[in-house]
Amino acid sequence: MKNIFIFLNLLIITNYTTAQTDSEHKNSIDQSKSIYSNIEYTFKIEKAQKLIAGLMTEKNIPGLSIAIGTKNEIVWAQGFGFADLENKTPVKINSKFRIGSISKTLTALALGKLIENGQISLSDIVQNYVHYFPEKKYPVTIEQLASHSAGIRDYNYSTGEYLSSKNYETVQESISIFKDDTLLFEPGTKYSYSTYGYVLLSAVIESAANTNFLEFMRDSIFTPLNLNNTLPDFNYEIIENRVRFYDEVKGKIANGYYVNNSNKWAGGGYLSTPYDLVLMSQSFLKNQFLSEQTIQRLWTPYQLSNGEKPTMESDGGRTMTV
């Protein structure tokens, strides 16, 4: 399935400062509007707007959202096109898009917080936390789950797991999809991108935090970071400013397939905005949410048993570090 909605976020790492405090600046941006721009960047923003207009025409994109920021502020945020083509609803700064595997980055934040609190050790094996996940031929560590080197399989596309319409009430239920499958390889010897590895990681987080995964993410990650437009893609809930989802069929825009993402919250089940994702990135640069030591640990590539580290070529460039 080709999702032809696009969202973009970019953080420019500079020492640019303004006279406004962070809180004053955030409050000055009305996210219900379709555009915010800092006049100091007017020329560059106008140039980028023309490029985006051309891209949308060329690729037949119904709606797009972008946010760009420095270490200290959002310098540009804008929605283009429509969030709902049938009702001609424009994309706004706070329009919520499916963020797919960027959800894994949010899960990594939770892992980092628990590491920092001394509630999880990366060298621990999965069964220390998740009693209902069967032991395998080889032990699997938390670090191997987070670095896609655990040998946990990914979706079985032939059986429709990626476009599942089934609702899973709990993380434990979603793990039932793959818990009895054998490992693809001895953990720590290869990289193999796995959304289900992150689903299993969410079960570890639940156990370590002693609370429901989605509640922990909301209360301990999103709320402290002011990510007010980041939440699970619940099909049955009325979610304000959620965009419609589209596909492309024979060169024409069509309504997207019905998908229930409850089988993969931690690995690909969240809605968010580029604005929220820039705020999250800013917190990294300022060491406001996690310590510099923890952030460096999360960004350090995992080394396989043969000494190999992930590259842009390994696993299509998708392999994430712990």
Global pTM reads 0.90
| Per-residue confidence in pLDDT tens, the chain, 322 aa | 444 444 565 554 443 333 334 444 444 699 999 999 999 999 999 999 999 999 999 999 999 999 999 999 999 999 999 999 999 999 999 999 999 999 999 999 999 999 999 999 999 999 999 999 999 999 999 999 999 999 999 999 999 899 999 999 999 999 999 999 999 999 999 999 999 999 999 999 999 999 999 999 999 999 999 999 999 999 999 999 999 999 999 989 999 999 999 999 999 999 999 999 999 999 988 989 999 999 999 989 999 999 988 764 444 333 334 4
Domains and CATH numbers, the chain: 6-100+229-285 (no CATH), 102-219+291-317 (3.40.710.10)
Instruction: Report the pLDDT value the prediction gives residue 42, as an integer from 0 to 100.
Output: 96
Instruction: Report the pLDDT value the prediction gives residue 17, as an integer from 0 to 100.
Output: 33
Is there a contact between 271 and 232 (Cβ–Cβ < 8 Å)? yes
Is there a contact between 299 and 287 (Cβ–Cβ < 8 Å)? no
Q: How many Cα neighbours within 13 Å face the side chain of 276? A: 27
Instruction: Report the pLDDT value the prediction gives residue 10, as an integer from 0 to 100.
Output: 57
Tell me, rounded to whole angstroms, the distance of Cα 166 from its chain centroid: 21
From the number of C-beta atoms within 10 Å of its C-beta (0-12, 13-18, 19+), residue 18 rates as middle
Is there a contact between 130 and 200 (Cβ–Cβ < 8 Å)? yes
The structure tokens 């789950």 sit at 145
Instruction: Report the pLDDT value the prediction gives residue 86, as an integer from 0 to 100.
Output: 97
Nearest to 193 by CA among 146, 129, 250, 142: 146
3-class SS letters over 182-227: CCCCCCCCCCCCCHHHHHHHHHHHHHHHCCCHHHHHHHHHHCCCCC
Is there a contact between 204 and 142 (Cβ–Cβ < 8 Å)? yes
Segment (H or E) for 76: strand 74-84
Q: DSSP 3-state assignment of 136?
A: coil
What is the bridge-based pairing of β-strands 74-84 and 35-37? antiparallel
Buried b (16+ CB within 10 A) or exposed e, 282-316: bbbeeeebbeeebbebbeeebebeeeeebeeebbe
Instruction: Collect all residues with Cβ–Cβ distance below 8 Å to 132 and sequence separation of at least 6.
Output: 172, 175, 179
Instruction: Report the pLDDT value the prediction gives residue 284, as an integer from 0 to 100.
Output: 86
